[in-house]
Structure 1
Amino acid sequence: MNSENTKFCTNCGKEIPQTAQYCPYCNTKQPSLEPTYLNRSDVSTHQCPRCKNVIPDGVSYCPYCDEPQTRSQNNNHQQSTGQPAKTAQDQTNQSNHPRQHKSHFWRNVIVLLVVILLAIIAFFTYQNYHNSQIQSNQNQANQEQTAKNDANKSQAKQSKPQNNIVEIVKSFTQNNKYESGQDAAQDVQKVVDKIPDSSGSSVKWDPNAQTVNVNLPASSPVVKSAETGSPQVWNAMVKGLQTISQEISKNSTGNDDYSNIKVMRDDTGQPILQVDKGNVSLNSRDQ
């Protein structure tokens, strides 16, 4: 028989005419089928496990006996390729895996970048805080050091004039001999000239009172220093006159003593400081 005009019995599997409604061999009624014109060489086929008819791969049910063909088709494919058959679920999972893997990869990359960014932000935040703390501590240390230096300078400023004037007096009175009040007045003038801001002052020997009189302008910084709360200049002059008075008393010749020094304001003539033999008997600042 021509294969294009035949079909296979759904019961015995024998080749029978295409138009046969019953198998001439086993008398089994045949299903009504639309004629197909497939070239067997172009179609992969397998044998139905139930009716043994040759049917194309890929059909879900046998067109002759209505037997499900998925398993048979997969088995046939497995036998022809030598590879394990894959179910529809396996194929679905296989097709989804690359997409899931790709999605997980980019998700992990994004998470890693976020972590790195947060770490960088945290690092620079800590660095800025640490640097600001160091700068703040440094500024505080500088302020404390500046205040300390200012205090030392202020203290030195207060003591330096006194210390300097004593050294100056001793430098030019060493081994001096005072034979007259005029000699004493000359050295007292040297001391007064060394006092800061003492310009305009005059020193004279008063033979009647037996005193060395120092006249200071009432407007001079020396007098104003005695009247204010910062008497550094005034105290330097007191210390200097004490030292020169002591030197004059120690080095006066004969029985005369020319160490009595009286300081007066030129506007009133009133004494504001008196030193004798190095001892202060009057200090207007103490009054």
Structure 2
Amino acid sequence: MSVTIIIPARFASTRYPGKPLVALRGAGGEARSLIRRSWDAAMDVPGIDRVIVATDDERIRDHARGFGAEVAMTSATCRNGTERVAEAVANLGLTSEIVVNLQGDAPLTPAWFIEDLVTGLRADPQAALATPVLNSTGRMRAELIADRQAGRVGGTTAVFNDEMQALYFSKEVVPYAAGPFDDDEPTPVHHHVGVYAYRPEALADYAGWPEGRLEKLEGLEQLRFLEQGRRVRCVLVESRGREFWELNNPEDVPKLEQMMLRMGLN
């Protein structure tokens, strides 16, 4: 079953303009752009047929081609990464059986997250897409809450049923859990990892649907699938000692760099 990873990237981010070109310094001291590190993460995934950067910006295009990436140009009207991925698939005439959207702000995504994600979608023929969730420790839950209390849009949380079918995603920390929790203690909160594996027909449908009410309120593209009654499978992934965080705000740059230093990631 062929699998293509597409990395959507735009320059005009509302919260952090130019984010894909922001440099992150690894444990070895080398500074590489966010989009380069996301591309490197995609290239580390075994069994992938193709990795493509999808953008509407010439600066990102030129930078990505400079480190050897294949680039697909898309329109500036795409409202989110899923729409950009859908447009890239249509423009390129891709025939992959699974398309993975690796967000360009998630350079710490381990290869096994994507491997488990693809396996999870294959195991659920009724699902339009699959997305990974990571059980939050007390420390991670506290960081999510701290972001919200500071007025920052940080990580996203996911709620799902016993069959791992998504019920809701939110930028608030859900479900409510009184605690307290120790730093390394598992909590009822699950951090949504911003990666998606779609069936191509689901992508094509998504591009034709209007923006959903909840999608617009939360600013979360995956809610459009839930609002249209499509099945979204959550895949529980294991950290295996790796820390994970996405770059959402300028304040996240030193946080990610410290994580890479602790994990010895260059």
Tell me which interval the TM-score lies in, with the shorter structure as reference length.
under 0.3
**Which protein has greater RCO, CA pairs closer than 8 Å, 6+ apart?**
2
TM normalised by structure 1 equals 0.23
Higher normalized strand content (fraction of residues) = 2
Larger helix percent: 1
